[in-house]
Amino acid sequence: MSVRLTVEKLGVSYRGDGRETEVLKDVSFELRAGERLAIIGESGSGKSTLALAIAGLLPPGSRVDGDVRWPELERRPVNGRDLGFVFQDPSSSLNPVLTIGEQIAEVARAHLGRSWREAYEHAEMLLGRVHLPDPASALRAFPHQLSGGQRQRVAIAEAIAARPGLLIADEATSALDTIVQAEIVRLLEELVAEDGMSLLFISHDIALASQIADRIAVFRHGRLVEIGDAGQIVDAPREAYTKSLLAAHMGLDTPSLLAPEAVA
């Protein structure tokens, strides 16, 4: 499998109020084509900063050390074209005064060079792919006319409109109730498999991460503590911190994450 992304000794510091705060330190990993990698860690561990650094979206003035490379590309990656971003709050990527059709079609026009008519057809096809009921009517709807789960489906359709090689989902299901969350996770799995995209699934929820990811990377205080196959991380974590994350998940009322044979 070819390598889609190489993160090498990445460090990020934010600057403000005359101070510099280091939030990512010496982070290295590879993401292969078609691979689903979950990034997990507590709030403030640097997960979103990692996503922003990969997308080239860090605030101006941030200090970046190390490297993010895209071996398959011979040019700089273009946001929207080479990578799609889905955030926790779909309102941050959807424009409230444009119809759903206009927003998705605009991505197809900008990045795929489609005419408006072709771009609208493309948008309707994508709304079908994200399982929005009645895609033709949805094209004419405004974001506020949809439910939270439907808005997240639209945000996903927009993120994949230009067929990017990488989809970054940053806490994309955290604001949704459990049933809708499971549906969106299934949808992401389906789309990633169909399009051969790589997925960076950012979550504070190790149980959810283990459902969707091939591999899991555990972050703490801006450092990559442990990375491995999802099964290994959940069944046989090497680091004490990962064990404590798993233990914190295991409330008395929580079903075990471990496979039955591993418990026996």
Ligand X SMILES: Nc1ncnc2c1ncn2[C@@H]1O[C@H](COP(=O)(O)OP(=O)(O)OP(=O)(O)O)[C@@H](O)[C@H]1O
- Name the residues that contact ligand X, by CB under 6 A: 14, 16, 21, 23, 41, 43-49, 59, 204
Closest to 191 in 3D by CA, of 133, 137, 128: 128
Positive or negative: CA dihedral 234, 240, 217, 191: positive
Closest approach of ligand X to the CB of residue 170, in Å: 7
Q: Give the shortest CB-248-to-ligand X separation in angstroms.
A: 15
Mode of pairing for the β-strands spanning 166-170 and 83-86: parallel
Q: Kindly tell me which of 14 and 29 has the beta carbon lying closer to ligand X.
A: 14
Q: How far is the CB of 47 from ligand X (least distance, A)?
A: 4
State in angstroms the smallest separation of the CB of 30 from ligand X: 21
What are φ and ψ of residue 94, in 5° steps?
-100, 135
Residue (59 or 113) nearer to ligand X, CB: 59
Report the distance separating Cα 160 and Cα 172, nearest Å: 14
Nearest distance from C-beta of residue 41 to ligand X, angstroms = 5
Comparison of 41 and 237: residue with beta carbon closer to ligand X? 41
Calculate Rg over the CA atoms of the chain. Answer: 19
Please identify, using beta-carbon distances, which residue of 11 and 34 lies nearer to ligand X.
Answer: 11
Nearer to ligand X, 12 or 130 (CB): 12
Alpha carbons within 13 A on the beta-carbon side of 54:
32
Rounded to whole angstroms, how far apart are CA atoms 181 and 112?
Answer: 30
CA distance 173 to 72: 29
Nearest residue to 41 (alpha-carbon basis) of 219, 240, 172: 219
Task: Provide the token pair at 9.
Answer: 């000794």
Q: What is the rounded distance in angstroms from the CA atom of residue 225 to the CA atom of residue 241?
A: 8
Shortest CB 137 distance to ligand X, Å? 35
Choice between 65 and 235, CB closer to ligand X: 65
